[in-house]
A and B are shown apart, each in its own frame.
Chain A
Amino acid sequence: MAAPLVFRRDLLSFARILGGISQLGPRGLNSCSRHRKCGQTRPPSQLLYASLSRFQLLQSSSTFFHTATHLSSTPFTITATDEPDTLFQKVVVLVKGHDRAVLDSYEFFATMAAKELGITMAKVFEPPKDIERLTLLKSVHIYKKHRVQYEMRTHYRCIELHHITGCTAQVYLEYIQRNLPEGVAMEVTKTAMEKIPDHILEPMWKDHPIDDKPSK
């Protein structure tokens, strides 16, 4: 007796949900195309099909995964733009962590990656560690003379890169940051070099009289 009841319940709610999906369809798609930059928007027919298969619990996995693999097979093309590349005179990468061994391994990884990508490393050194200590009461109530002491050790590693272009810096930093281990934080300080902009080369008062009051 339980089985036919369940089935009928499914049908009713299923019909209502389909109605809900058709209402939601275009709006939902528009917003999700805005959020996701790559071309992974699905037409309403595919979404309906996906939901149908899930509810019926028949061949659900095959259709769902089939659409996913089809979308990821677009080839990547590297395009070069005319925009001038930013030049960084110095990029300082400071990594902080609680475990020195983890930072050792990370330093090996970062230095090897820099060497492979052809980036000049000026300095790789270890700033002294910071220890933050606190003394707390051991007991919840009274017993002031009995305390417990904790300390938090922060170890540092600093990698300085010299003369690196904007594209290379972006690639290297993204690679480094994606492989940052758990419990390690990073601070990157970039010093970019720029030419003097055109409006600072000559004072404007030479051409225009001083009585003029320009906006800038």
Chain B
Amino acid sequence: MALLGGRMFLSLGRSNISNLGLKQTTNRVTYATALSVNSSAGNKERGGRGSVGRRPRRDPGEPRTGKMPVDQDWASVYPSATPFRSNAVPLPVRMGYPVKGGVSPEKKGNLELVKIPNFLHLTPAAIKKHCEALKPFCTEWPSALDTDAKCDEHFPIKIQSSDYVSAGPSVRNPSARIVHLKVKLSSLNLDEHARKKMLKLVGERYCKDSDILSIKTDCCPLRQQNYEYAMYLLTVLYHESWKIEAWEAEKTAADMEEYSWEDSPSQKNILDTLLRMKVAGEGEEAEVREQLLARGEVQEYKDSVVRLKNEGANENSMLQYKEAVKKVLNV
């Protein structure tokens, strides 16, 4: 007896040390198992003595479906998600592969009906009841923000994140930490230089057609951290793009985002050609060049060249260039 007690104390001590934070249920369990073994041993002795003295088997009686009134409260029969009980559902449901020359098996003792998830606890009446109870916790959408345009005007920054719910060994999903930040550059306070610098800093994250800068952050383990990092990135980009560094003065024509015709080889070439053709009158070089520039054909030529360089060579731009050249050279 002392030995058994000693062994039990050991197990108790072990559970105390390992599970410091747990409640006394573990202690109760270690004790209760010992107790249950003793009691079950006692029961077996009692049962083994006489199979004659068993309790008589009772009849199951009428199933509950027979006693259900038509206007009962179904939400009290199935208040929450429970497996299908054939004696509690008053519907003549049949499920399963039909017997040869017959119909599907009936609902009594049908495992197929038990296996499939049922929505008996979510009848329209039950849903209405639940929503009535949930209504006080909901808030109204502000009526002033009807259209997407108004939303974009007042709230330009969009934060996108995902949540995942699934059954598995863990509740967590590592993809839930990813945060996408989308903002239209037109809604930020940027001047020309700042905008160009921002586009250079950001690179591929900017979409020209929709004017949306999208930043995706997934380097931190938590969504809150990723969101804060995205906002920090946006702040830094904004302030850095307004800064004018000393070395930015060394920007060459090759670094420019768009083609500009002023002081370009194309301008020099067309003016030299026109001078050699002696179209304009005699005079000082600089004045003659200015006069030539002011002419309509030269302006058209400039537009066509700019369009070609920026948009690329497609049908319309090539046609426009052809027309402009014909006009300038009087061909």
Contacts and interface: CB of A to CB of B under 8 A. Distances in A.
A185 interface: yes
Interface in A76-135: 78, 85, 87, 89, 99, 101-102, 105-106, 109, 112-113, 116-118
B122 interface: yes
Given A13-B8, A186-B166, A203 B81 contact: no
Interface stretch (A14-22, A65-73, A142-150): A14-22
Contact of B160 (A9, A106, A163, A190): A190
Given A28-B24, A109-B119, A163-B145, A193 B165 contact: no
Interface in A46-66: 47, 51, 54-55
Contacts of B119: 105-106, 109, 181
Contacts of A141: none
Given A20-B27, A28-B23, A193-B157, A168 B139 contact: yes
B122 A20 contact: no
Interface size class of B (residues with CB under 8 A): 35 or more
A146 to B, nearest CB: 26
A85 B137 CA distance: 12
Contact of B12 (A20, A31, A189): A20
Contacts of B20: 24, 27-28, 31
B243 A210 contact: yes
Interface string B1-23: 10011001100110010001111
Nearest to B168: A185
Contacts of B183: 196
B117 A181 contact: yes
B275 interface: no
A193 B151 contact: yes
Nearest to A86: B159
B116 A99 contact: yes
Contact of A200 (B21, B128, B161, B234): B234
A2 B162 CA distance: 63
A200 B188 contact: yes
Contacts of B254: none
B158 A192 contact: yes
Contacts of A204: 239
A171 B23 CA distance: 33
A168 to B, nearest CB: 4
B187 to A, nearest CB: 7
Contacts of A27: 20-21
A13 B31 contact: yes
Q: Which of B24, B130, B167 has the most CB of A within 10 A?
A: B24
A37 interface: no
A197 B243 CA distance: 19
Nearest to B238: A200
A85 B131 contact: no
Interface of A: 2, 5-6, 8-10, 12-14, 16-17, 20-21, 23-24, 27-28, 31-32, 47, 51, 54-55, 78, 85, 87, 89, 99, 101-102, 105-106, 109, 112-113, 116-118, 163-168, 171-173, 175, 177, 179-197, 199-205, 210, 216
Given A106-B119, A116-B131, A163-B141, 12 more contacts: A8-B1, A17-B28, A102-B116, A109-B127, A112-B124, A165-B138, A181-B117, A193-B151, A196-B156, A202-B189, A216-B236, A216-B239
26 contacts: A5-B1, A16-B12, A17-B28, A21-B24, A28-B24, A31-B20, A51-B28, A78-B137, A116-B127, A117-B138, A163-B141, A167-B137, A171-B134, A175-B130, A179-B121, A181-B117, A182-B167, A185-B167, A188-B165, A189-B160, A191-B159, A193-B158, A196-B187, A200-B234, A201-B189, A216-B235
